[in-house]
Structure 1
Amino acid sequence: MWEWLKDNVTLLQVLVSLTSALVWIAYLQMFAASFRRQTRSSLLITLAGGRGPTGRCIVSNMGSEPAYLMDVLAEFEADGNQTAVSVVDRLELWDKSSDVTTGVSAVGPLTSGSYVDIGSFDNLFARARKRLGTTDATEKAETIKLIAIAATSQARDLVAAYRSFELYRPEGSDTVQLLPVEVESKQIRSRRKRKKLRALLEELQRNEAVERDVLRDVGPPRGGPI
């Protein structure tokens, strides 16, 4: 045995070196994956205060880095048609104040773990009607999809998350109930999709609304991974 070890000492040294290198490579991969998870952006969209139209829409930053909330889009779907419009500005307050520092818009920085109250769903519907100049999209809507878009320091492009709600109208009642479709917000992290987010915001700067399924452009493939 000792003779064999002496004769193959060079080979053993090479094998030990290779094994050590493989261990270090595996360790570095685990460390890199853990670091990416810790610094990964995460926006949450939640419904608070009941499932009725007075329920509040809350956007939270659960990432480890600060984020700047740039917009919140509401996409209404009715009769197979989609209409997306920005609802981040509190238009109901614009007639009362022209100072953006008094809360007339939810746009602004969010530290890690902080949140912003976008408004009640009644407010969101009213803002959409005001921008669109019609009630068709909101009164006939079967679902509403909310897309929160933010900028972060660790991402070159914008980041976003979305969540869908079914609009259930009990028979014989004028009230609407919001039934969440997803258990939690779905994150949009694909670099290609995040670039499309910027193009979408640029389009909304020129138009009050976008009449198409925007999640088809910026969201994950239908039935595919997030």
Structure 2
Amino acid sequence: MVPISPKTQRSDAISPEDLFIWMWLVENAGLVQAAVGIVTALVWFVYLQVLVSGVRRQRRTEILIHLGGSRSLDGRLFISNLGFEPIYILEILLTLRTPYGERETSVADRTEIAKEEVKNPVATTSQGPLKSGEFVDIGSFDDLLQRAQRNTSDDLQADGVSRVELKVAAISAASSAVVAAKRQFCITFDAGKCRIRPKTVYATQIRSWWGRCRLKRELEMELEQ
């Protein structure tokens, strides 16, 4: 038999610190299990929040209103769908600020196109579906002013308009609720030349409950006209 040296006995012995930790774990086993359960629940909660945020981000609409080609009255206005889900454009409302007050009217229909020039009925309106990443040209600024003049029977001139707000209402494939975006443009004249300047870098999304309810009332009022 090989004798056990004192050095080996000392290395195999449990130190007082380890013994204290072991006894503490035994005495507080219930507390340790509860702490592990809480940490596990927190991990799953964070994971669930990340998952829900990803789903909401995929279903969230993002409508872009962009002025391109020119910063004058012949500049074209484009509506783009940057969301993951397709949308259907229901209505396009134009609000004009003049010295006599504000005027709001629909400019979705291309009333500047003569009936004899129409080859496809789809070309007579800006309403319709937009897939993810698609855009539609709704006309120039001058076209929108002409449509507003026809709908309101007002003598609207560009030099009498100081600010324009374009509002796009749509239905998302992910939800039956109305989704919308708006963007304002300032109109100024310098030496007889018209300059149109957006007030914001990109369109403001109307996501709040109050904003969507107000927009719904505006659409209902537009139907009664």
Structure 2 length-normalised TM: 0.85
Aligned to 1:183: 201
Aligned to 1:78: 98
Segments of 4+ in structure 1 off by > 6 A?
Answer: none
Q: Is the 8 A contact 2:182 2:205 kept in 1?
A: yes
Q: Is the 8 A contact 2:159 2:189 kept in 1?
A: no
Q: Is the 8 A contact 1:59 1:116 kept in 2?
A: yes
Aligned to 2:34: 14
Number of aligned pairs? 205
Aligned to 2:212: 194
> Is 1:91 the equivalent of 2:114?
no
* Inter-partner Cα distance in structure 1 for 2:222 and 2:54: 36
Aligned to 1:164: 184
Partner of 1:16, secondary structure, is helix
Q: Is the 8 A contact 1:160 1:187 kept in 2?
A: yes
Q: Which has the larger radius of gyration?
A: 2
Q: Is the 8 A contact 1:53 1:120 kept in 2?
A: yes
> Is 1:203 the equivalent of 2:221?
yes
Q: Is the 8 A contact 1:51 1:177 kept in 2?
A: yes
* 1:54 counterpart letter in structure 2: D
Pick from 78, 87, 90: which aligns with 1:67?
Answer: 87
* 2:175 counterpart letter in structure 1: A
Q: What's the offset of the Cα at 1:137?
A: 6.6
Q: What's the offset of the Cα at 1:22?
A: 1.1
| Structure 1 alignment gaps of length 5 or more | 208-226
Larger RCO: 1 or 2 (CA < 8 Å, sep 6+)? 1
| Structure 2 alignment gaps of length 5 or more | 1-20
RMSD (CA atoms): 1.7
* Inter-partner Cα distance in structure 2 for 1:39 and 1:80: 41
Q: What's the offset of the Cα at 1:191?
A: 2.3
Identity %: 34
Pair 1:81–1:38, CA change in 2 (3 A):
same
Pair 1:80–1:132, CA change in 2 (3 A):
closer
Cα distance per residue 1:79-127 (max 9 Å; x no partner): 2711111111100114335776340101000001100000011111111
Partner of 1:128, secondary structure, is helix
* Inter-partner Cα distance in structure 2 for 1:54 and 1:127: 14
* 1:178 counterpart letter in structure 2: I
* Inter-partner Cα distance in structure 2 for 1:85 and 1:176: 22
